[in-house]
Amino acid sequence: MSDTRHSKVLIIGSGPAGYTAGVYAARAMLEPVLVQGLEPGGQLTTTTEVENWPGDTEVQGPDLMVRMEGHARAMGCDIVGDIITSLDLATRPFVAQSDSGTVYTADAVILATGARAKWLGLPSEEKFKGFGVSACATCDGFFYRGQEIVVIGGGNTAVEEALFLTNFASKVTLIHRRDELRAEKILIDRLMKNPKIEPLWFHQLEEVVGEDTPMGVTGIRVKHVTTGEITEIPAKGVFVAIGHAPANELVKDTLETHHGGYVVTKPGTTETSIPGVFAAGDLTDHKYRQAVTSAGMGCMAALEAERWLSEQDLDSGKDTTEPLGYGAPASAAE
């Protein structure tokens, strides 16, 4: 028989949004349960220096997330190492099935599932994933000591990854489809000054080239975006850094989304189209996608969940999946 756990507030996700929601919900005596997911600590665990978290001129991403987890735990948030596999938002209380078999029921849900790296979708990219193709320089950079590496993309992630990879690589080629980077000026400045990095403008990755035995990358073929000319570049590692997409799998069929899958919230709030369901962080933010804005939204979600719960006539704390009878969910955002 599966174990069922009820809470007033279930927080799904353990990035800056989830942990901040955990701190605030715990301090509001809501006894929240937070499910961490496959990536405890979220995206910042895949980077090194974070230089724009207020109060820390420089902090390692994984350290910051360990501190956030400790903070939420110390306030009384129950942090669980599990993954939510499906979410029923049509019943009350809400019901979340999990990878461990535990069924989480909750009067209110805070969605903080963040975002995940995008891929180009090339068959050769798929073939060499884990064998020379990666989307995480901090995870895999160490394997390419003294080797030539390419990074694809022109945003903050691509530039940071290229800079980080110079710690290991003999040369890093940054391949971008335009001749203008969308990364922050301070990062572009560091990139341009780094003698190990060579940008290649107006090119797109066409194919990852490699060997089957042993499986590994030997280079890439890139195409000029206007002339169509193909160039081959030797490389042992290919880091794809072309942006992130919202991790909306649990709610893409039940909540309203926009701008490529970001969950819609009522302007100025974290309220979704279903009362009692709140969304915070990169899952809902197509514009800023920063740790500090995610944390801010986590705070808002917890405060709004508390207010919403106090307005409901709930017999909370019951270990039950029976509907509590406070009406059907709304079908559209306000």
Tokens 């937070």 correspond to what residue?
Answer: 34
Half-sphere exposure of 199 (CA within 13 A, CB side): 21
Residues 184-192: contacts with CB under 8 Å, at least 24 apart: 184/156, 187/156, 187/159, 187/160, 187/163, 188/159, 190/159, 190/163, 191/159, 191/162, 191/163
User: Closer CB to ligand NAP, residue 84 or residue 162?
Assistant: 162
Residue 204 touches ligand NAP, criterion: CB under 6 A:
yes
Cβ contacts of 322 within 8 Å, gap of 6 or more: none
Q: Interface with ligand FAD by CB under 6 A: which range of 16-24, 213-221, 303-311, 325-333?
A: 16-24
Residue 218 binds which entry of ligand FAD, ligand NAP, none, CB below 5-8 Å type-dependent: none
Q: Which of 56, 78, 88, 136 is catalytic?
A: 136
Q: Interface with ligand NAP by CB under 6 A: which range of 6-14, 240-248, 297-305, 325-333?
A: 240-248
**Burial grade of 89 (CB within 10 A; 0-12, 13-18, 19 or more):** buried
Among 87, 65, 58, smallest CA distance to 18 is for 65
Least CB distance from residue 308 to ligand FAD, whole Å?
20
Residue 34 touches ligand FAD, criterion: CB under 6 A:
no
Q: What does the alpha-carbon distance between residue 150 and residue 239 come to, in Å, rounded to a whole number?
A: 6
Q: Which of 99, 139, 179, 319 is catalytic?
A: 139
Query: Which of 9, 11, 26, 112 is in the footprint of ligand FAD by CB under 6 A?
Result: 112
Residue 294 touches ligand FAD, criterion: CB under 6 A:
yes
**Cis peptide upstream of residue 275 (ω within 30 degrees of 0):** no
Query: Which of 22, 93, 114, 153 is in the footprint of ligand FAD by CB under 6 A?
Result: 114
Shortest-Cβ-distance residue relative to ligand NAP: 155
**Cis peptide upstream of residue 62 (ω within 30 degrees of 0):** no
Least CB distance from residue 46 to ligand NAP, whole Å?
10
Query: Which of 8, 22, 26, 43 is in the footprint of ligand FAD by CB under 6 A?
Result: 43
Q: What does the alpha-carbon distance between residue 283 and residue 251 come to, in Å, rounded to a whole number?
A: 10
Query: Which of 10, 242, 283, 301 is in the footprint of ligand NAP by CB under 6 A?
Result: 242
Residue 294 binds which entry of ligand NAP, ligand FAD, none, CB below 5-8 Å type-dependent: ligand FAD
Q: Which of 107, 140, 282, 285 is catalytic?
A: 140
Q: What does the alpha-carbon distance between residue 190 and residue 257 come to, in Å, rounded to a whole number?
A: 37
Told to judge if 140 belongs to the known catalytic residues of this protein, a careful annotator would answer: yes
Residue 46 binds which entry of ligand FAD, ligand NAP, none, CB below 5-8 Å type-dependent: ligand FAD
Q: Interface with ligand NAP by CB under 6 A: which range of 29-37, 62-70, 94-102, 177-185?
A: 177-185
User: Closer CB to ligand FAD, residue 30 or residue 64?
Assistant: 64
Told to judge if 77 belongs to the known catalytic residues of this protein, a careful annotator would answer: no
Q: What does the alpha-carbon distance between residue 127 and residue 254 come to, in Å, rounded to a whole number?
A: 33
First to last CA, the chain: 40
Q: What does the alpha-carbon distance between residue 292 and residue 31 come to, in Å, rounded to a whole number?
A: 24
Cβ contacts of 99 within 8 Å, gap of 6 or more: 82, 83, 84, 85
Residue 113 touches ligand FAD, criterion: CB under 6 A:
yes
Report the b/e string of 46-55 with b at 16+ CB within 10 A.
bbbebeebee
Query: Which of 66, 120, 245, 292 is in the footprint of ligand FAD by CB under 6 A?
Result: 292
- Residues within the interface to ligand NAP (CB under 6 A): 52, 120, 152-158, 160, 177-178, 182, 204, 241-244, 289
- Residues within the interface to ligand FAD (CB under 6 A): 12-18, 35-40, 42-44, 46-47, 50, 52, 83-84, 112-115, 157, 160, 247, 250, 281-283, 289-292, 294
Return the active site residues: 136, 139-140
